[in-house]
Amino acid sequence: MSKTKSSRIRRRIIRSGVATAAATATVVATMAAPASAASVTLTLSSAVGPGTSDKNTAPSDAVTITASATSAWLSGYSAQVKAVLSVAACATTVPAATTDTAPVAGSTTTGLIVVDVTATRLTDYKAAIGIPANLPMATTSPQKYNICVYSSSTATAPLIGSAAYTAAVPPTATKVTPASGLATGGNTITITGSGFPTTSSGLTGTLGGVPLTGVTALGPSTFKATVPAGKPNTTAVLTVTTTAGTATLQAAYKYANGINIAPNTAPNTADQVYVDVMGSGFSGLSFESKSGVGGAGRLLTPALDTKARVFLVSGVYDPSIINTNEYKNGPFAECGAVAVISDRELICGMDLTNGYDPAKGTVYGTKTAVKEGTYTLTVVNVGKLGATVATDDLLQTDLSSGSTFTVAPY
C-alpha cells in the first residue's frame, strides 16, 4: 500500500471517531437535562396579610391572594399544585409541615414553622393562594414568611415559584382625641390603638362611614387624620383598615351642631357687619317670616312669627318667659338679611349701632349701640315668643368657642 493511500485511510478513521464521540456526548447531555424548569420569583396581589401574635389575640380572617409571573410557570401542571408558608427559605422539594399551633411572641421556633396553604392553578401564569385564618407568628409582629409553590404534593415535587409574604397582627382602635367637634369637620384628630403601619400609605379609615383624609402615620400605636363633615348631634363609628385587617370603635366621635364665624369681632360703631357662618343644616331652615305680621320695632311676633334667626346672645339663648312678655335670656342683636349659600354656609348682616333689649325682644326707645363685650352668635331653628317653648321649636346650635363674637374697637 502506498504511503499516500495509507494517509487517506487514517484520516477517514479519525474523522469517523470524532463524529462518533460527538454523537455520544450529545446523547449524554440530553439524558442529564433537568426534568423541570427553574423556580421563578412571583408577584403577589398582596404581600402583607393578617396573622396572630399570641394565644390571646382574636383570630384573623382567612384571605386569598394571587401569585403571578410573566412566564408560563404553571404550564402543564394540574389544577391543584402544592404551596406552603415557610419561615425559613423555600426548600427545593416539598417540606413536611411543622406548624406550631399556638406560638407565642418571641418563640424559639423561628425557622422551623412550615404552614400548609391552599393553592389552585388559575392559568399558566397565575395561581390562587389561600392564606389561613389565625396564621401562626413565630416572632413578634410582623412575621416574615416565604410563599413556596411546588408542582405537586409528592415529597420529591420541585419548587416552581416563590415570593416573600409578611403576616401582621390586625389593628385595634381604642381612642380618638379630641372625641368631638363641629359637624362641618375639617379638624384634626389623633387615633390611638395598636398594629398601625408606620407608613401612611398602609392606613385608611372612615368616620361615620365617610373616609378620613390627611391620614398620617405617627407610629405603631398612633396616627392623625382630618375629620370629614358629619350629621349634627350624632356619634360616629370609627373604622381603621390596614393590610392585616380592620378595627372598629363604636361611638368614637361626636359631631356637635356648632358654628364657625368670620369675622368674630367688630366695634359697636359698625352699622353693617357681614358675618360668614359655617355650620350644618342651613338649607333646611326658613329665614323668611311665615306670618307676614310684625310690629313697629318688634323683633318677634307672639306665636305667629316662626322663621329661623341668627342672634347675638350673651350666654345661651333662652326665649322662655319669666315675666309678662319678657325673655329669660333674649338676643342683643339679630344678624338679619340672611343669605343661605349652602347647607353648611350662610351670610348675614348685623347693625351693632342699634341693638335690642334682650328682655323685650325689641329695639330700645332711642338708638342704642350694643354694649362692648363678648357674645355668642347662635342660629335658632325657630325664633318666637311664648309662655312655653316645645323642644322642636328651639333647635339651636351647640355653643362653641368658634361662635364667640366680640364687640370691641379692635
Q: What is the pLDDT of residue 353?
A: 96
Count CB neighbours of 319 within 10 A.
Answer: 22
Over the stretch 159-212, which tens digit does the pLDDT of each residue have?
Answer: 999 999 988 878 899 999 999 888 888 889 999 998 898 899 989 999 999 999
DSSP, residue by residue, 13-53: HHHHHHHHHHHHHHHHHHHHS-SSPPPEE-EES-SEEE---
What sign does the CA torsion over 158, 159, 161, 165 have? Answer: positive
Over the stretch 400-410, which tens digit does the pLDDT of each residue have?
Answer: 555 899 999 87
Q: Which residues pair with 43 in a beta bridge?
A: 68
Q: What is the pLDDT of residue 260?
A: 86
Residues across the chain: 410
Count CB neighbours of 172 within 10 A.
Answer: 18
Do residues 192 and 174 touch, judged by C-beta distance below 8 A? yes
CA dist 364 and 111 (Å) reads: 87
Do residues 101 and 137 touch, judged by C-beta distance below 8 A? no
Q: Copy the grid coordinates of residue 110.
A: 423561628
Per-residue pLDDT 10s for the chain (410 aa) are 444 444 444 444 334 443 433 333 333 222 232 344 589 999 999 888 877 755 455 556 788 999 999 999 999 998 889 999 988 889 999 998 776 555 544 455 555 688 889 999 999 999 999 988 777 776 556 788 899 999 999 989 999 999 999 888 788 999 999 998 888 888 899 999 988 988 999 899 999 999 999 999 999 899 999 999 888 778 999 999 988 888 999 999 998 878 889 999 999 999 999 999 988 778 878 887 544 433 333 444 444 456 788 999 998 888 777 776 677 888 899 999 999 999 889 999 999 999 988 888 778 889 999 999 999 998 887 665 333 333 333 456 655 555 899 999 87
CA dist 342 and 284 (Å) reads: 10
Q: What is the pLDDT of residue 230?
A: 85
CA distances from 206 to 183, 226, 259, 388 (A): 15, 10, 23, 41
Do residues 236 and 208 touch, judged by C-beta distance below 8 A? yes
DSSP structure class, residue 170: P
